[in-house]
Structure 1
Amino acid sequence: MRVVVTGVNGQLGYDVVKELRKQGDEVIGLTRETLDLTEEDQVTKTIREIKPEAVIHCAAYTAVDLAEEEKDKALNVNTLATSYLAKVCAEIQAKMIYISTDYVFPGEGDKPYEVKDKVDPINWYGQTKYEGEQAVLRELNHYFIVRVTWVFGKNGNNFVKTMLRLSQERESLSVVADQIGSPTYTVDLAKCLAEIVKTDKYGIYHVTNEGFCSWYDFAMEIFRMSGRNVVVHPLTSEQFPSKAKRPKNCRLSKQKLTEEGFERLPSWQDALARYLEELKQ
């Protein structure tokens, strides 16, 4: 299969390219340097020339707090660029996977969100990703929207790397304990995306590693598995104020994956153990 992957320098894009190539697919990876996704003419021309059978759109503006200040920038990357890609995919009849986020939900309660639950973002990043979803729905009859949470991978910055770095600098840390979600390894996520894109089982999916935890639980497990001696203090969201409001319930239901016959991802603890091994290498 001939596949375009955007954002190949990011955590997810990097592993999606790796996985597709491993499966023998022809992959064209796009970076910010090779294509400005916010320029519609460039996007249309490039995708028309490449003529991919599928586009996996991993590129995104993900600085959640900064998005509250750089509203136009976040909107251009997360919403407008997505609509340009969706439009040209419709024109050349290519499949499209848009990577979205649990931040499209308000993050209330303690039940995992189903794919059809009402979206209502509580920060600008979530709003721009939601509007990206809307652009995909508007432009394409057939589409894949894949919502993910708490992503970590080798290529880029993430919570695991931050905790490992801080553990070398400090003896104690404070971590938020009332936001619950699923840490998700890009290697596992990439395998699932590579499988989904080769089917015609279109729709909205939630894809994360199995199990739920708080950021505090996640930090504790990182230190336990990596043998670091750090005292971790649990904080409430209110004790850790940030520019962008954070959802407390980031749990996503993976029922749709099961219904469509896709394999669920391993537990987040299993994923973390493999990731720490990958970092050692």
Structure 2
Amino acid sequence: MRLLITGLNGTLAPRLAQAARAMGHEVIGWDRAALNPDDETLCADWLERVRPDAVAHLGTGTARFAAFLAARCERFVFTSTAMVFDHEPDGPHDVAHERTAKDDYGRYKIGCEDAILAASKTAAIARIGWQIDPTQPGNNMLMALDEWQRRDGHVAASRVWIPACSFMTDTAAALLTLLRRPQPGVHHLDSNADDAWCFDELARTLARRFRRDWQVQVHEDYRHDQRLVGGPTALPPLSAAFARL
């Protein structure tokens, strides 16, 4: 399979590329310096030459660009976010629930979801939570907590926040499965969906398993059951992911 992945300079896309190459698939990146996403004629000509068998859209871009890609490949996966749901009403959030985001990022992802679903009947939308990885830079929970400790001298962790989260390797494996065996519609990829670990428990477990000397300070300033439930795809639970370490 020839797989086009956007966002290869980001956090999760390199893990997806690694998993794809390990299974013998060819990975192609999107070079924004050479291919302006706003130039649809140029982009369409390039896609016609490259002819990817599948597209994983993990990069940033407009809702129009997301729809443009979805309309041009039957095997298409887009990574959305748990943040399409606000904390009011509280979760767990099912695939069928109304999206209630009030912040700009959540609304941006909602716009992309809607544009993709209008452009393609075969596209898959994978909503994901905060990703965990021992080394990958970017929006990575482990690295973020390292930075909190450096910056603040402690890690502030709410005991009343149940985050949607997963290890990147598990998320990448699920995305690759959706590309190899397409299942159109909305998927919730959350390893905390069943375990329901609160953030303070998760922070302490990460500290133990990755030998961090974080000073975890527990609070109740943020309350949200952010879990993503329902849908046809399930990830291994956090408890199983930690057991592999």
Scaled by the length of structure 2, the TM-score of the pair is 0.85
Is the Cα contact below 8 Å between 1:44 and 1:85 reproduced in 2? no
The total of aligned residue pairs comes to 241
In structure 2, what residue type is equivalent to 1:266?
A: P
Q: Deviations 1:82-107 (Å, cap 9, x if unpaired)?
A: 122223x1xxx432111111111223
Residue among 201, 204, 217 paired with 1:217: 201
Aligned to 2:75: 95
> Gaps (5+ residues) in structure 1?
61-76, 239-246, 258-263
Please give the residue correspondences for 1:1-281 in structure 2 after superposition, counting only pairs within 5 Å: 1-60=1-60, 77-87=61-71, 89=72, 93-153=73-133, 154-157=135-138, 158-167=140-149, 172-210=154-192, 211-237=195-221, 248-257=224-233, 264-271=234-241
> Gaps (5+ residues) in structure 2?
none
Distance 1:172 1:152, change over 3 A: closer
Q: Deviations 1:25-76 (Å, cap 9, x if unpaired)?
A: 122122444543344334323222211111010113xxxxxxxxxxxxxxxx
SS of equivalent residue, structure 2 residue 41: helix
Distance 1:120 1:38, change over 3 A: farther
SS of equivalent residue, structure 1 residue 228: coil
Displacement of 1:232:
1.8
Scaled by the length of structure 1, the TM-score of the pair is 0.75
Is the Cα contact below 8 Å between 1:174 and 1:232 reproduced in 2? yes
* Residues in 1 aligned to 2:176 and 2:165: alpha-carbon distance in whole angstroms: 20
In structure 2, what residue type is equivalent to 1:132?
A: C
SS of equivalent residue, structure 2 residue 5: strand
Distance 1:6 1:166, change over 3 A: same
RMSD of aligned C-alpha atoms? 2.5
Displacement of 1:216:
2.7
Displacement of 1:134:
0.6
* Residues in 2 aligned to 1:128 and 1:169: alpha-carbon distance in whole angstroms: 29
* Residues in 2 aligned to 1:186 and 1:133: alpha-carbon distance in whole angstroms: 22
* Residues in 1 aligned to 2:45 and 2:98: alpha-carbon distance in whole angstroms: 36
In structure 1, what residue type is equivalent to 2:69?
A: L
Displacement of 1:132:
0.2
Distance 1:82 1:272, change over 3 A: farther
Which is further off, 107-116 or 161-170? 161-170
Displacement of 1:78:
4.4
Q: Deviations 1:93-124 (Å, cap 9, x if unpaired)?
A: 43211111111122335542221111121211
In structure 2, what residue type is equivalent to 1:116?
A: A
- Please identify which structure carries the higher helix content: 1
